[in-house]
Amino acid sequence: MRLSPSMKPLGAGGFLACLLPLALCASWTATPFTPPSVPLAVRSPYLSAWLPQGTGTALNAAWPTFWTGSTLGWAGYVAVDGQAYVFLGAPGGVTGADQAFTATQSVFVLTAGAIDLTVTFLSPVEPTDLVKQSLPFSYLALSAAANDGKAHSVQVYTDISAEWVSGDNSLAVNWTTTTGSVLTHQVQLQQQNLYAEASDHIQQGAAYYSTTSSPSATFQTGRDVTVRQQFVTSKKLANTQDTAFRAVSDNWPVFAFAHDLGSTTTPTAPVVFTVGHVRDPAIQYIIAGGALQARSLYFWSQYATVAAAISSFIADYGNALTRAQQFDSNIHSAASKISSDYADIVYLSVRQTLGATELTVSKAPTGQWNTSDVLMFMKEISSDGNVNTVDVVFPSWPAFLYTNPALGKYLLLPLFEYQATGQYPNKWSVHDMGASYPKALGHNDESGNMLIMALSYTQKSGDTSLIDAYFGLLDQWTQFLISEALIPANQISTDDFAGSLANQTNLAIKGIVGIRAMAEIASLAGDTARSQNYSSIAASYVQQWQELALSSDGSHLTLAYGNSTSWGLAYNLYADKLLGLNLFPQSIYTTQAAWYTTVATPFGVPLDTRHTYTKSDWQIVTAAMLQSTSTATRDLLVSGVHAFASAAISSNTEPLGDWYETSGGATEGFRARPVVGGHLALLTI
Ligand SMILES: *[C@@H]1O[C@H](CO)[C@@H](O)[C@H](O)[C@H]1NC(C)=O
Ligand SMILES: *[C@@H]1O[C@H](CO)[C@@H](O)[C@H](O)[C@H]1NC(C)=O
Ligand SMILES: *[C@@H]1O[C@H](CO)[C@@H](O)[C@H](O)[C@H]1NC(C)=O
Ligand SMILES: *[C@@H]1O[C@H](CO)[C@@H](O)[C@H](O)[C@H]1NC(C)=O
Ligand SMILES: *[C@@H]1O[C@H](CO)[C@@H](O)[C@H](O)[C@H]1NC(C)=O
């Protein structure tokens, strides 16, 4: 899927026109489509850089943004035979860019005079390597090739601003540059504030911008216009450091590198830069007795210093790219078995899901890293800052089941451990681990989700440790479901923005599946009597539910019992298929598959009859549940989500949203949330 220069559909002539005003540059290609925002460096809640798109925006026509939409200064120039062109950011000057994205990479090819510059943003996805997955760094690689067969002198330049370390540009920062085999600029807030956020940026730790040293590499720190002009004029930097520490926006200090690629005709070996944001400790976590534990990113168990982690990460670029291409190729071929629309959606969803998470480790009392104690934390992102929210973990769950179920276990463990300490008073499961990331301090519904996730983890991994350790809690939540599931009280559900409602058909499904899931768990634990009891309760509930849940003419499931004009996405039936239970009769699936074709819009099927908006994650989950019933309905749902993701309308500039309007495809405001992990649901059945 990488766009190679030879695949470029426009000739050099077309790109040369793009050195003139932007208006002439409207015709680059975006593969597979123009998403609302292109992921550039997306690895953690605090390393999250995007290029807003709307109807399509070139890499050098806008500043990258943090997921919230605030600017992240990230600039790049390429000089060709003495003439400088902007390739990244909006410091002035314009060329055009072809762009393409995969699950792990966003690749731009820009023509600057007689050379084509390939700009690769690689955010590794390393689900089976805890050290690599936990490294909060991302790559930028540049390679130049002549487009006229002649030799040209090429230099490249790039910088970041201090916007990478704060949500408040009036705060003071300081910085240092270290030289050696790797050149690294480090910048941080002078006033460090442990575990605190400002506008969703962490106010702790430092940003790191690095490149490999060489005789032709130069660096400089200083005022933005000064440092950039230095390159534009001299094609190299002064190897000087500005030590007048000041606020982020006070004469905008930038942290820059340049490389002289010499004279080139054939494509150059990539020049590699890495950008990262590291803090330590990373997460504050509540343990038994209400004590608070400081947890670190997992990579610390391998590297003693940030410098050692960066050296290893930068040296690994070639291998990381090979692994990324393999990952992209594997997931693309699996998703393409559903459809090409589906493969596109999956590509756009992977980095975003994992980029909301962090893998952590604790220290034993001896000071040694305890690598048996691995916990993963997820920030809800944009809807609020809750930690490991069960109704956000649950929709994202397919991404973990597919890429590595163990990550799912690390994500569930904080919830199980916390409730096992007895600090949570209710007989049902907790909703989240705390109101504001990165403080996982506990909080006060989600029993069915926990049972479904615990059993699906166990089935996919073959590891019974979770259900063995927490059998008591799982059984406790089942009692709650046995008393409450069939006739759900007036309550909000996962889709809390849609309002509360009594007797929700879809909520009842989840509770009933939860009871039956516990029957399976009991069976795996050898408790046959309990298993048979819960199995028969679940079967009896399904019988009663059918009487309550269908519309009077039998054409569809209702949204709420007894209201025949209501309907909705009954996505909780996905769990029946995922767990292989076959608890609900096939007739229900056949009915729903037919019904959705009668209510679909070009942007898919509304979430329910209360509103015209919908959820992308629940549509794909519904597509997965109908996969074996109707490929036509499956494809209809997938194409609705694809239409939204690729709508390229001016109002959609935010990292992919999951909540959108079916009339017109505008996003409803949620953005960059890990729930798009639910887009991998069709890969889990
Ligand atoms: C920068 O600020 C940090 C945090 O206050 C401090 O630890 C560090 O010593 C400062 N560095 C310099 C070079 O002043
Ligand atoms: C390491 O973590 C595991 C899992 O939480 C725990 O059971 C064990 O006691 C810890 N070991 C030490 C030495 O703290
Ligand atoms: C929920 O459905 C049950 C069964 O039909 C009914 O008895 C009850 O009144 C309904 N509750 C509400 C609040 O409508
Ligand atoms: C089945 O489980 C329910 C709920 O825990 C319990 O009330 C009932 O006594 C159990 N029945 C048998 C036969 O164990
Ligand atoms: C039935 O559902 C429709 C569509 O959601 C709604 O407009 C109507 O108010 C509901 N009727 C009752 C009695 O709740």
The residue behind tokens 């590509």 is: 347
Pocket test for ligand 5, best of 506, 561, 566, 611 (most atoms within 8 A of CB): 566
Q: Is 174 in the pocket of ligand 1 (CB under 6 A)?
A: yes
| pLDDT tens per residue across span 498-508 | 888 999 999 99
| pLDDT for res 605 | 98
Structure tokens at 340: 């090409």
Contact status, residue 542 vs residue 583, Cβ threshold 8 Å: yes
Contact status, residue 336 vs residue 343, Cβ threshold 8 Å: yes
Q: Exposed, middle or buried: residue 247 (CB in 10 Å: 0-12, 13-18, 19+)?
A: middle
Q: Is 176 in the pocket of ligand 1 (CB under 6 A)?
A: yes
Instruction: Tell me how far the alpha carbon of residue 566 lies from the centroid of ligand 5, in angstroms.
Output: 6
The residue behind tokens 């639910």 is: 678
Q: Is 372 in the pocket of ligand 2 (CB under 6 A)?
A: yes
What is the Cα–Cα distance from 508 to 547, expressed in whole angstroms? 13
Sequence-ordered list of residues with C-beta below 8 angstroms from that of 235, at least 6 positions apart, any chain: 79, 82, 84, 155, 258, 260
- Which atom of ligand 3 lies closest to the CA of 548? 5
Q: Is 359 helix (H, G, I), strand (E, B) or coil?
A: strand
What is the Cα–Cα distance from 674 to 350, expressed in whole angstroms? 9
Q: Is 370 in the pocket of ligand 2 (CB under 6 A)?
A: yes
| pLDDT for res 25 | 41
Sequence-ordered list of residues with C-beta below 8 angstroms from that of 610, at least 6 positions apart, any chain: 498, 499, 559
Sequence-ordered list of residues with C-beta below 8 angstroms from that of 315, at least 6 positions apart, any chain: none
Please identify every stretch of the chain with a pLDDT value under 50, giving residue numbers as ranges: 1-26, 94, 443-444
CA atoms within 13 A on the CB side of 315: 8
| pLDDT for res 497 | 87
Sequence-ordered list of residues with C-beta below 8 angstroms from that of 189, at least 6 positions apart, any chain: 165, 166, 171, 172, 173, 203, 204
Q: Which of 70, 359, 111 is nearest to 199 (CA)?
A: 70
Please tell me the residue having the least CA distance from ligand 1 atom 2: 190
Q: Is 216 in the pocket of ligand 1 (CB under 6 A)?
A: no
Instruction: Tell me how far the alpha carbon of residue 509 lies from the centroid of ligand 4, in angstroms.
Output: 20
Whole-number Cα distances in Å, 371 to 131, 296, 374, 409: 11, 11, 6, 15
Q: Is 482 in the pocket of ligand 4 (CB under 6 A)?
A: yes
What residues does 255 pair with on adjacent strands? 160, 221
What is the Cα–Cα distance from 575 to 509, expressed in whole angstroms? 9
Please give the DSSP secondary-structure letter assigned to residue 682: G
| pLDDT for res 265 | 84
What is the Cα–Cα distance from 301 to 131, expressed in whole angstroms? 8
- Which ligand gives the minimal distance to the CA of 567? 5
Q: Which of 603, 644, 629, 627 is nearest to 683 (CA)?
A: 627
- Which ligand gives the minimal distance to the CA of 465? 2
| pLDDT tens per residue across span 9-52 | 222 222 222 322 233 344 578 999 999 999 999 999 999 999 99
What is the Cα–Cα distance from 568 to 610, expressed in whole angstroms? 9
Contact status, residue 412 vs residue 431, Cβ threshold 8 Å: no
What is the Cα–Cα distance from 605 to 599, expressed in whole angstroms? 6
Identify residue 662 by its one-letter amino acid code.
T
Positive or negative torsion for Cα 238, 240, 241, 243: negative
What is the Cα–Cα distance from 571 to 184, expressed in whole angstroms? 48
What is the Cα–Cα distance from 573 to 238, expressed in whole angstroms? 63
What residues does 142 pair with on adjacent strands? 119, 271
| pLDDT for res 49 | 98
